[in-house]
Structure 1
Amino acid sequence: MDASKLPWKRGGLTLAGAALATAVALTVPSATAAPGDPGTRGDVTLNDAFTRAADEFGVPRDLLVAVGYGETHLDGHGGEPSHAGGYGVMHLVSNPERRTLERAAQLTGESERALRTDDAANVRGGAALLDELADRAGLDEAERRDTAEWYPVVAHYGGQDDPRLKRLYADAVYTILAKGVTAKSAGEEAVVSAAHRVRPDRGGLETVRPLDGSGDAPGTQSEDYPPAHWVAADAGNYKAGRSAAIDTVVVHVTQGAYAGTISWFQNPAAQVSAHYVVRSSDGDVTQMVRDADTAWHARDANSRSLGIEHEGFVDDPSWFTDAMYRSSAALTKHLCDTHGIPKDRQHIVGHSEVPGNDHTDPGANWDWDHYMALVNG
C-alpha cells in the first residue's frame, strides 16, 4: 500500500531519511515551547497528548504509552538529558551517533527546543518516529491496528544494535503493555492505559536468545556472579586489570533505561562503564566488566572499586523497587564476601560520596537504611 494514501498521513510530509534509533508533572506548560512552535499550546495533559499523537500518526495509543513508560516512567525530567543524550517522555536522542531528536523535528515541524522541554511536543516526536518505522517495516492499515504487529517497530525504536538487546527492549515494552499503565503526576492527574495481553509477532527476533534468560534458552552467564548475564562493554570503555586492591562498592543510578544503558556501555563513544547493571522491574542483573578489570565509573576511585548501575532516574523514586533493592543487595553482599570488603557505609557508597565526583546519584530517594539492612541480612 502507498503510505501517502493512508488516512493518518500528513499532507506534504517527507518520510524518507536518516537511520533511526533511541531512543511527573503531566500538565504541559505552554511556556516551555518557543513562540510560533507547533509545540506552543495551552494546558494539554499528557493523557491528551498521547491520544492526539496516536490519532495523528496512526500509532496504537496504549502502545505509545508503554514505550514512553518503559523509557522514562512518563517523566520528562524538566528537559534534562539522560546518560545517552535522550530527552523527554519518549527519550528522543541527540548524541554523535544517534539523532532521533533531530529526525523528530524534521517529521513534526516542532523545534528541537520544544521536543526537549515540552511533553506534548516530545510525545508527538516519538509517535512520528514510530510512524516512520512502521512505514519502513511495511505495516499496512490493518496491521497498524494490531499491536502484535508493532513488535519489530518497537525493537528498532529502542536503538540497540545487538539483537539480544532489541528483544530485551521490545519484550519490556510488551510486558508493560500487558499490565497496563497508571502513572500519577505531582498534581495527581493520571495517565492511564488499558492492559493488552497480546502475543507479539517478533519476526526475526523470535529465534534470538533472550538476554535475560527468559524463554527456552538461557543467556550467557557471568563467571564472577552466576545469577548475572554476561554482556561485555566495549574494550575502549574500561581498562584491563587493576592497579589497586578492591575495597569499595559504588552505587549508581543510570539516568536511563536498562537496555539503553547496556547498549551505551557497548558504544565506544561512551567512554564510561560499570561492572553491573540492575533492572528496576524485577532485579535482573547484567555484568559488563569483569571484577578483575577497571570500569570507568567513579574517577579516582575506579582502580579500587566495583560499580553497580541501577536502572532509573535520580529524581523519580518509582524506579527503586523492592525487587531492585533485594537483587542489588544480594549482588553487593556477594561482592563484599568475595573481595573482603566490609559491609558498611564507609565501603558501600553512593557515586555522590566518592571524592572528586560531581554526580548526585543515587540521590535522596535511595533508601540506604533498607539497602544496608538487606546487604547485612
Structure 2
Amino acid sequence: MKPLSPRRGRAATLLGAALSGALLLAVAPAAASGAPAPATGLDAAFAAAAKTYQVPRDLLVAVGYGETRLIDHDGLPSQDNGYGVMHLADNSRNRSLPLAAQLTGLDAAALKNDAAANVRGAAAVLRSYADRQGLTRADRGRIAAWYPVVAAYAGASSDATARLSADHVYEVLQHGLVARTDTGVVSVAASRVRPELGRFAKVQTAGEVSTAAPQGVVAAAVPVPQYPGARWIAAAGGNYGAGRSAAITTIVIHVTQGSYAGTISWFQNPSAGVSAHYVVKSSNGEVTQMVRDEDTAYHARSANPYALGIEHEGFVDNPAWFTDAMYRSSANLSRHLANKWGIPKTRSFIKGHNEMPGNDHTDPGPHWNWNYYMSLVNSGGGGGQYLAG
C-alpha cells in the first residue's frame, strides 16, 4: 500500500556524505555577486553530469527539484518505486532506472544510493530522450527546447499528466531556486524561458477545473470535481471501488512520499492498487480530485469504507514540503468535507494515516503541524481553496 514507512538508510558514498538532509532555503532568483564559487558536492555532480551528457545544468537541477526537492531519502523508494534526488524509477510505466543503468554502466544499487551516480543516470536518461525527440546540438543548448524531453522523463500515465509535471519544472526555472544540501548550496537563477511545447501545445493541462457549487451528498457519477476549484483526474478503475459499504465518518491525512504529478500518475496506473480521493500540491495548494467522495478509495486498508483520503505532496522526513499554502488549502478541503458529510471537526475524526487501524505507515509524520492544521480547519482562516488557471 502506498508510501513505504521511512527508515534509516545508507548514506551516499560517492559524495562522501548523505544528501538526505537537503533543506529548501527559498524559491527565488539566485543572486550573483563577484566570481561564482567553485561547485562542490551535489552542485559539482550536476555540473559534471550536465557537461558529460550535454544537458543544460539548470534544467537538470530543476527536474530534480521538481521530483524530490533535491533530497535522496537515504536510498528509500517513493511510492512509485523512484530513487534518489532525480527520482529514477522502475515501475510498469516508468523505466528510467534500468535505462540509466544501461546507459551509464552503473549498477542499480549505485544509482539508487549514490547521489552523484543518481544525477549522472538522470542526465543520461534525459539525453537519451532528447535524442529520441530529435533535438540537435543547437536545440540542446536552448532550455526552452527540452520541454517534450522533460515531459517524457515524468513517466506519466497520460500526456496530460506529463504536461502537469513538465509545467512545474519550467515554473521552477522561471522563478529560480536556492536550496541547501549537506554538501553545499545548489541554486538556479530565475529565467524568462518560455518552453517550446511542441506536440504538447495541443494537450490540455491535466484535469478540468470546477467552477460549480459543491454537489450534494447524492451526486451523479460525472467526470468533474466535487470540490470547487479542484482539478478532476480519475484514478484507474481498479484502484478504487464503486460505492460505499459504510457511512463516511473520517477524514484521513496522508503524505504521498512523492511529487504531486508523480502521485497523480501513480493513481492512474492500473498496477498501483491504491488511490486517494484528493491530492494537494505543496507549492501553491492546488487540489486534484481522483475518486468521488461516494466511492471507496484504497488508501487506509480496513478504514477505506468509511474514510475520505487526502494526500499531500512531499515526504514525511522533510518539513519543507508542508507549506502554508498547502496547510490552508487542505484545511479548507477538510472543512468542506466535514460540513458536507456531517463529520465533527476534531482529531477524533480527522486523523493521520498512522492512526488508522491495521496499517504500518507513519505519515503524515512528526513534522506535520496538527495544532496549526486543526486551527485552520475550525477557524475558517484557510484563505480560500486554490483556484487553478
1:296 corresponds, among 275, 295, 298, to: 298
1:211 is displaced (CA, Å) by 2.4
Residue 173 of structure 2 corresponds to residue 207 of structure 1? no
1:200 counterpart letter in structure 2: P
Cα deviations across residues 40-91 of structure 1 (Å, max 9, x unaligned)?
A: xxx9600000000000000000000000000000001000000000000110
Q: Which residue of 2 is the match for residue 305 of structure 1?
A: 307
2:260 counterpart letter in structure 1: Y
Q: Which residue of 2 is the match for residue 38 of structure 1?
A: none
Q: Which residue of 2 is the match for residue 58 of structure 1?
A: 54
Q: Which residue of 2 is the match for residue 5 of structure 1?
A: none
Paired residue secondary structure (2:186): strand
Q: Which residue of 2 is the match for residue 233 of structure 1?
A: 235
Paired residue secondary structure (2:253): strand
Paired residue secondary structure (1:30): coil
Using the alignment, how far apart are the partners of 2:226 and 2:91 within structure 1?
33
1:68 corresponds, among 51, 64, 88, to: 64
Q: Which residue of 2 is the match for residue 16 of structure 1?
A: none
1:32 is displaced (CA, Å) by 7.9
1:97 is displaced (CA, Å) by 4.2
2:277 corresponds, among 275, 279, 293, to: 275
2:319 corresponds, among 300, 313, 317, to: 317
Paired residue secondary structure (2:103): helix
Q: 1:28, 1:44 within 8 Å by CA — same for their partners in 2?
A: no
Q: Which residue of 1 is the match for residue 116 of structure 2?
A: 120
Total equivalences in the alignment: 337
Using the alignment, how far apart are the partners of 2:71 and 2:244 within structure 1?
38
Paired residue secondary structure (1:183): strand
Identity %: 58
Using the alignment, how far apart are the partners of 2:172 and 2:99 within structure 1?
26
Q: Which residue of 2 is the match for residue 49 of structure 1?
A: 45
Paired residue secondary structure (1:376): helix
1:248 is displaced (CA, Å) by 0.3
Using the alignment, how far apart are the partners of 2:16 and 2:135 within structure 1?
34
Paired residue secondary structure (2:363): coil
1:328 counterpart letter in structure 2: S
Higher RCO (C-alpha 8 Å, min separation 6): 2
Q: Pairwise mapping of residues 1-377 of structure 1 onto structure 2 (< 5 A)? A: 28-30=12-14, 45-185=41-181, 187=182, 189-211=184-206, 222-377=224-379
2:274 counterpart letter in structure 1: V
Using the alignment, how far apart are the partners of 1:342 and 1:349 within structure 2?
12
Residues 356, 28 of structure 1: CA spacing in aligned structure 2 closer, same or farther, 3 A cutoff?
closer
Residues 103, 44 of structure 1: CA spacing in aligned structure 2 closer, same or farther, 3 A cutoff?
farther
2:14 counterpart letter in structure 1: S
2:151 counterpart letter in structure 1: A
Paired residue secondary structure (1:190): strand
Using the alignment, how far apart are the partners of 2:240 and 2:73 within structure 1?
29
Q: 2:50, 2:123 within 8 Å by CA — same for their partners in 1?
A: yes
Q: 2:15, 2:115 within 8 Å by CA — same for their partners in 1?
A: no
1:161 is displaced (CA, Å) by 3.2
Q: 1:238, 1:273 within 8 Å by CA — same for their partners in 2?
A: yes
Using the alignment, how far apart are the partners of 2:278 and 2:201 within structure 1?
27
TM-score, normalised to structure 2, is 0.83
1:202 counterpart letter in structure 2: L
Dislocated runs of 4+, deviation >4 Å: none
2:346 counterpart letter in structure 1: D
Paired residue secondary structure (2:330): helix
Paired residue secondary structure (1:211): coil
1:95 is displaced (CA, Å) by 2.3
2:121 counterpart letter in structure 1: G
Cα deviations across residues 116-144 of structure 1 (Å, max 9, x unaligned)?
A: 00000000000000000111111111111
1:164 is displaced (CA, Å) by 1.3
Residues 30, 143 of structure 1: CA spacing in aligned structure 2 closer, same or farther, 3 A cutoff?
closer
Q: 1:277, 1:286 within 8 Å by CA — same for their partners in 2?
A: yes
Using the alignment, how far apart are the partners of 1:196 and 1:375 within structure 2?
37
Q: Which runs of 5+ in 1 are unaligned?
A: 1-24, 34-42, 215-219
Using the alignment, how far apart are the partners of 1:198 and 1:189 within structure 2?
26
Paired residue secondary structure (2:347): coil
1:160 is displaced (CA, Å) by 1.0
Paired residue secondary structure (1:68): helix
Using the alignment, how far apart are the partners of 2:200 and 2:15 within structure 1?
43
Using the alignment, how far apart are the partners of 1:227 and 1:179 within structure 2?
24
Q: 1:83, 1:254 within 8 Å by CA — same for their partners in 2?
A: yes
